[in-house]
Structure 1
């Protein structure tokens, strides 16, 4: 075999690209530390601060804090003023790093790759054997990280944008209907809808016992336990309450038999009811998903989504980048006649589905 000719410029460019990704992994650890230690909160809205002042405000050791600040400044996560030897968090950076209620707050999402590293031995075995890894088999940080990653995004979009994009659904919610949130996780999406529509009753469904327990705690804390219930059930056997709305929030592609789940939804829908399908943003062709968002979702799909679908029977393993065409086919096979895209964000596509 002939020795390949190496293009030095291409090699250098790819090495730089790989090192940038490696640096991002290191930075994720720093972001998680900064959030948990209150370092971003110490910087937010305070103007330029010395390392000593940041450490004092956060109750941390100055020498560690100075090194952390320099790492953050090198990565562009905070600003550094050389003349005064001070550090500053801009308003835009604060929205991403310090504001827990911001729709673009990201520190908690770093729990997901932390869990992926912790789960590497399971992933190695799964890749070699083809077996699945169920949601509950992952490191505990997985469920927490995913819930936190989606919570604020749903808060920004679900009630003000996505539900109004569905024909007639808001009016029915205001009048009062039964709603199912299939794959509800920690219940954030369920509770957002319950807070907005007090005449409707909401039922969160999930197979993961720890997530159901967390969802019930959140409902109690929000004072919504009288109108919101959470039950442990599968997407194919939850109670038929003739729902006016059935929601799948970033869930359908995780299921081992999405057609069966869609078929059960068809049976459990009240006449004129709607399925709201929210899925990770994806196009139909691989070449159209080769982006930063696609990189994120394909990686997560490799270790989380496909792994759970295989553990769940693996009849049809969609993955997190299924695309509209494959999703529409799932519901066509389940007997639905209406499937349209109602809204989209850089991270999600929202579909309206009816029989």
Structure 2
């Protein structure tokens, strides 16, 4: 693990050591678009799905219930979050279909983490705004896709059709939790799509409150 990754793990463990216990209760009110992303995953029967930055495993559990024929995998840099995730997965009886691991989004390798050379779906739900090497995370996710695979993303937008004051207030509150909405995300996604021969569908949600994107390998 690099020094930067070690520092990020320590930071996330510190931030969420307590907050992880009520994280899902608070986030459901403003992490919009997560369940829409899960509904659109549509993995093939027997397909493999990986979540980058799985946190408490809330999304993996919802996705595993929605798509019972697929196998799910998730990793996070924070051991504190993973401790909560493991308990949640076990409590829902999905340990046979959800595999968890500790990993760094900027350097992850699905073969090393999960023995998967390629995956059918990768998704990132409000994680890019928390990952310092966020562009590397997108690159690695795109490179891991199997033929016909898709990378699904939802994260904070830039409030392009919302009041500027609302943006300033919300972004300030996000900064308290080391969350930084990525203004350059559309341009980076376009470049990654071109570099990897992927199609790109980019959709602003709720007047720019959030951005949704799907990159697909045909």
- Structure 2 match to 1:280: 156
Distance in 1 of aligned mates of 2:169 and 2:143: 36
- Structure 1 match to 2:128: 252
Superposed displacement of residue 211, structure 1: 0.8
Of residues 158, 172, 191, the one that matches 1:298 is 172
1:266-277 pair list within 5 angstroms: 266-277=142-153
Q: 1:294 to 1:270 in 2, by over 3 A?
A: farther
Distance in 2 of aligned mates of 1:297 and 1:139: 19
| Partner SS for 1:213 | helix
Superposed displacement of residue 297, structure 1: 3.0
- Structure 1 match to 2:205: 344
Superposed displacement of residue 272, structure 1: 1.8
Equivalent pairs counted in the alignment come to 200
8 Å contact from structure 2 (residues 157, 204) kept in 1:
no
Write the deviation string for residues 248-289 of structure 1: whole angstroms up to 9, x where unpaired.
Answer: 1100121121221111112211112111111024246xx956
Distance in 2 of aligned mates of 1:158 and 1:275: 14
- Structure 1 match to 2:188: 330
| Partner SS for 1:186 | coil
Superposed displacement of residue 212, structure 1: 0.8
| Partner SS for 2:20 | helix
- Structure 2 match to 1:91: none
CA RMSD after TM alignment: 2.9
The answer to whether residue 14 in structure 2 is matched with residue 142 in structure 1 is no
- Structure 2 match to 1:16: none
Computing the radius of gyration from Cα coordinates, the structure with the larger value is: 1
Q: 1:143 to 1:328 in 2, by over 3 A?
A: same
Query: Mind listing any 5+ residue stretches in structure 1 that lack a counterpart?
Result: 1-130, 307-318
| Partner SS for 1:256 | coil
For normalisation by structure 1, the TM-score amounts to 0.50
Distance in 1 of aligned mates of 2:205 and 2:178: 21
Superposed displacement of residue 293, structure 1: 5.5
- Structure 2 match to 1:211: 81
The answer to whether residue 55 in structure 2 is matched with residue 178 in structure 1 is no
Query: Mind listing any 5+ residue stretches in structure 2 that lack a counterpart?
Result: 1-6
The answer to whether residue 66 in structure 2 is matched with residue 196 in structure 1 is yes
8 Å contact from structure 1 (residues 204, 230) kept in 2:
yes
Distance in 2 of aligned mates of 1:182 and 1:352: 15
- Structure 2 match to 1:123: none
Distance in 2 of aligned mates of 1:139 and 1:153: 18
Distance in 2 of aligned mates of 1:245 and 1:304: 28
Write the deviation string for residues 278-334 of structure 1: whole angstroms up to 9, x where unpaired.
Answer: 1024246xx956243552233212x3235xxxxxxxxxxxx22x34xx112223443
| Partner SS for 2:65 | helix
Write the deviation string for residues 48-81 of structure 1: whole angstroms up to 9, x where unpaired.
Answer: xxxxxxxxxxxxxxxxxxxxxxxxxxxxxxxxxx
Distance in 1 of aligned mates of 2:33 and 2:132: 28
| Higher helix proportion (structure 1 or 2) | 1
| Partner SS for 1:262 | helix
